[in-house]
Amino acid sequence: MRYYIIAGEASGDLHGSNLIKELKKIDKNSEFRCWGGDLIKEQSGNLVKHYKDYSYMGFFEVFKNIIKIVNNISLCKKDILNFKPDAIIYVDFPGFNMRIAKWAKSKNFTNHFYISPQIWAWKESRIKIIKKVIDQMFVILPFEKKYYQKLNYKVNYVGHPLLDVLKNKGRLNDKREKLIALLPGSRDQEISKILPLMLSVTQQFKDYKFVICGAPSKTKLFYEDYIKKTDSDNIEIVQNQTYEVLKKSCAALVTSGTATLEAALFKTPQVVCYKSSWISFQIGKILLKNLKFISLVNLILDKTAVTELIQGQLNKRNIAKELKYIISEEGKKEVLDFYNDLEKLLSKDGASKETASKIVNYHLEPNS
């Protein structure tokens, strides 16, 4: 079969590439055309565009790049018509993907959505469009299946794909080094606001080495510009080694998103850091008024397991205070106990394999 896959951001690239890997095992005659990153390109061999050229964060950033976004949507539609896929698979990235899905259904394409839009966080009204245009929805968080059931929409709970990624990584490590991992995100907009604040505390922890885990789409030179603005000599940059660093680190400063869950699954105590432009934050506060937390760890557990420093709270004093606490024995034990609870909730693995199987079977037995 012919598969058209659209992913945005580093996490979508990772999970999309693993899904392609599983699809190729099941469907020996599979052909792919994709939007994503380096990992998807490697697995599919056919990348239309890299996510760094079409992924924007925040309301102001989206508004600023609206012409580029409209052009990318137009390009994507034309490319789908030319490729004529049997299945379109959307990996997260709902702002872009739901627009394509709505159009694709009008052209009688089959839509599969892997990693559900977070309609439980905001804009629940999207369920009306989802019911009309998405043929199969795959959810990865344990509470999402019950949430959709209340809305009378059948979904497939496949477990979190991170569990498969980390399965063979030897996650548990009792011998931690005096390393503090810095995960400032993958987009320019978030890095520029968050990384300088993360680096502002390095001189208060001179006995520790701070390790910046570089995004795949960024060069070392990009991060060196930020380091030059500090007077610290205990900062290092690594690339494509995030999991190795998390495994060894005694603590981490993490930008909200998938990385918060990655740190938790590696049992690395963390402080969650988030800051956006003023206008994006104000709009976000209105739209996300029912959301109690921003980190996946706290959302899944439905309580404050890890500290979240958001917008004005994200400053040098607060970062230093919270970092000192999670490095201490008391703070470490408290966070690790929460991580144990989290792991019990996320016990289902095999997400990529199950999703691939259900997609292929859907086309073999459309009425099943």
Residue-wise pLDDT tens digits, 36-69: 999 999 999 999 999 988 987 666 778 888 999 9
Low-confidence ranges of the chain (pLDDT < 50): 368
The Cα–Cα gap between 181 and 212 comes to 6
Q: How far is CA 274 from the centre of its chain?
A: 14
34, 55: one domain: yes
**Residues of the domain holding 52:** 2-161+349-364
Helix (H) or strand (E) run with residue 7 in it: strand 2-7
Pairing of strands 307-310, 270-274: parallel
Question: Into how many domains does the chain fold?
Answer: 2
Q: Give the CATH number of the domain where residue 218 resides.
A: 3.40.50.2000
The pLDDT value recorded for residue 339 is 95
Both 292 and 354 in one domain: the answer is no
* Confidence at residue 279, expressed as pLDDT on a 0 to 100 scale: 73
* pLDDT at res. 52: 87
183 and 227 housed in the same domain:
yes
Phi and psi dihedrals of 281, rounded to 5?
Answer: -65, -40
255 and 358 fall within a common domain = no
If asked whether residues 216 and 309 sit together in one domain, one would say yes
Long-range contacts of 59-65 (CB under 8 A, 24+ apart): 59/279, 59/280, 59/283, 59/284, 60/277, 60/279, 60/280, 61/189, 61/277, 61/280, 62/95
Pairing relation of β-strands 249-255 and 270-274?
A: parallel
Cβ-contact 93, 5 below 8 angstroms: no
* Residues 226, 156 share a domain: no
In terms of domains, do 15 and 54 share one?
Answer: yes
pLDDT of 37: 94
Residue 180 and residue 314 share a domain:
yes
The pTM score is: 0.83
User: What pLDDT is stored for residue 368 in this prediction?
Assistant: 47
Predicted confidence (pLDDT) per residue in 318-356, tens digit: 999 999 999 999 999 999 999 999 988 998 889 999 999
In this structure, the answer to whether residues 114 and 156 fall within a common structural domain is: yes
Please report the DSSP string for 71-106 in residue order: HHHHHHHHHHHHH--SEEEEES-HHHHHHHHHHHHH
Same domain, 117 and 187: no
CB 359 within 8 A of CB 112: yes
157 and 175 housed in the same domain = no
Residues 111 and 172 in one domain: no
